[in-house]
Structure 1
């Protein structure tokens, strides 16, 4: 198949971390994604939880080596001229599986072809090839300029992975901070943002308020941030449930445009949830509720692959009765909503 010309670009992306319903953790990763003809290449690969090799948390020398590899300034890391395009977000081990492709020069152009899912040294295109993906021919000047910008220090201005936590419930904030740090997000606790140096305030990608924080204290925090020249999302904690708060903060840290998110809408009533996705992907819905003794009850209510569009998922009334919340997760996206006790519209 002849490779047709396509545009090549880069954009910041995240793999949202979180505290899962079974108590396990999912690591947060910031990375640079590949944009082909204006659309994330990752989104063309349905139900794939992966990140590119251009991750923000890799050492600078390794990051530079990855960029130079994609520019074909070094030998291919895998036999047959194959390069890792997306890999495991937890460990980056090839044994976990990776999307690979052949990258070669054709005149001044760069061609990506023969995409495959690979778990060993050799790729089996017949059984594990992505036959509907590529080949893509990228104009050399455009391709080199995009990647060279990363070598000049521009990793596409990613948002800092630190959160400032403000609230009255110290024990809850401590548990929340510990959970965030476990998944790779820095978290600090304060009662007075005005006492935090401006240079330090500029390192935060979001500010989270507990429900007990009053208007006067919120206004003081906003003034301190404005004086420091900081413009970041403010998260209003909706319930004292750590996995729920983690999901809210993960959503706030995702500053990418809606068109580059797999989850774009989530609403829920006591009878059903409506969830909208932009590309085929696995979606997991988890319900959280506080019982009469303010204990957290957690239920997995859906886990399956959804096609692009809006989908209605039936909910068990007993699972989401009273004060309940719903978290939707897809590769790279997370949404949170309170459950309204009524019939779906």
Structure 2
């Protein structure tokens, strides 16, 4: 085994929820990803739709249990000293498949090795091993400091709650109600209001984003923003592009993404003249959905691209019929979503 050290850190990450074209939903998950040598470990595992055990929506006792396992303070949950590194974001059961690895002490160091895709109690390294990934040797003090800090945060009474809540402000009540229902279905809290000024500051600080409908005037927008500023709340503001629920959900998901830009897979989307400009930081599957309003304000939806892209910038030709008139593009990959109006 190589004596070369890898660096270990943690960073916020997100598995973006979605309202899919077939009417099903994809659940929103916030979690901490493992940053190995400055890069998310998840990005090395192909285009895997998974989250780490360090998710913000698990009960505190379970979260603490996961941390203590990674610190090797408790027994490994799987045979052979194996631990779950990433699991299914929908149900988190081993039957759906999980990335596991052996975690062990080596003197004062900690080693992660023998990564594998596992669906039952035993891992078949020859058949399902991630060959070429690891082993990683971490300095014990760095490793324990990163994970141990989570235990300090979990025990703090002043810790802020996860801000997966959105305040919706708009004039079209029917659209807002549908949007709120869709957000709640994928795991994001949503409330509708016309007067944020009367809300207590501690309540405003629980929101991660505020979404404005197109009909909201500048005076009302300014009043809402002033209320959040007085409360000392750091929120992202979303300008709703169109009364299309899946489109608005994608805008909210992007606003809630607090992961560092350099640690996202999807970093750029431009839509102009029947062409999309997309930039990704690692090899991944990218899906492009076009949403269009016709002259009667009916919504038309069409998938215009679904393929694997290599790192870098890409230009993708679009079906002119799918993006004519007032249209918008949503780009999705594992953990990232971007939205852009079609420019002419």
**TM-score interval (norm. to shorter):** over 0.9
User: Residues 81-128 of structure 1: CA distance to partner in whole angstroms, max 9, x if unpaired?
Assistant: 111000000000111111110000000000000111111111111121
* Alignment deviations for residues 227-260 of structure 1 (CA, whole Å, 9 cap, x no partner): 1111211000010000000000000000122101
Normalising by structure 1, what TM-score? 0.96
Structure 2 length-normalised TM = 0.97
When the two structures are aligned, how many residues end up with a matched partner?
341
Mapped contact 1:4–1:135 kept (Cα < 8 A): no
Q: Which residue is 1:55 aligned to?
A: 55
What does residue range 23-172 of structure 1 map to in structure 2 within 5 Å? 23-153=23-153, 160-172=163-175
The CA deviation at 1:270 is 3.8
**Structure 2 CA distance, aligned partners of 1:314 and 1:126?**
41
In the other structure, the counterpart of 1:204 is 207
1:63 Cα shift? 0.7
Aligned 1:1-345 pairs, distance under 5 A: 1-2=1-2, 4-153=4-153, 160-341=163-344
3-state SS of paired residue (1:177): helix
Rounded to whole Å, the distance in 2 between the matches of 1:3 and 1:201 is: 50
Q: CA RMSD in A?
A: 1.4
Displacement, 1:205? 0.3
- TM-superposition CA deviations, 1:251-290 (whole Å, max 9, x none): 0000122101110000112422111100111111100001
In structure 2, C-alpha distance between the alignment counterparts of 1:278 and 1:330, rounded to whole Å: 11
1:5-62 per-residue CA deviation (whole Å, 9 max, x = no partner) reads 1111111111110111221101000111111111111111121110000111111111
Segments of 5+ residues of structure 2 without an aligned counterpart are none
| 1:174-215 CA distance string (max 9 Å, x none) | 000000000000000000111111111010000110000001
- Secondary structure at 1:152 match in 2: helix
Instruction: Give the distance between the partners of 2:144 and 2:106, measured in 1 at CA.
Output: 14
Query: Are the aligned partners of 2:265 and 2:334 in contact in 1 as well (CA < 8 Å)?
Result: yes
Secondary structure of 2:141's counterpart equals helix
Q: Distance in 2 between matches of 1:312 and 1:47?
A: 20
Runs of 4+ in 1 over 6 A off after TM superposition: 155-158
Which secondary structure does the structure 1 equivalent of 2:153 belong to?
A: coil
What is the deviation of 1:4?
2.6
Tell me how far apart the structure 2 counterparts of residues 227 and 268 of structure 1 sit (CA, whole Å). Answer: 37
Partners of 1:143 and 1:15 lie apart in 2 by: 24
3-state SS, counterpart of residue 216 of structure 2? coil
SS in structure 2 at match of 1:249: helix
Residue 157 of structure 1: how far off its partner (Å): 7.0
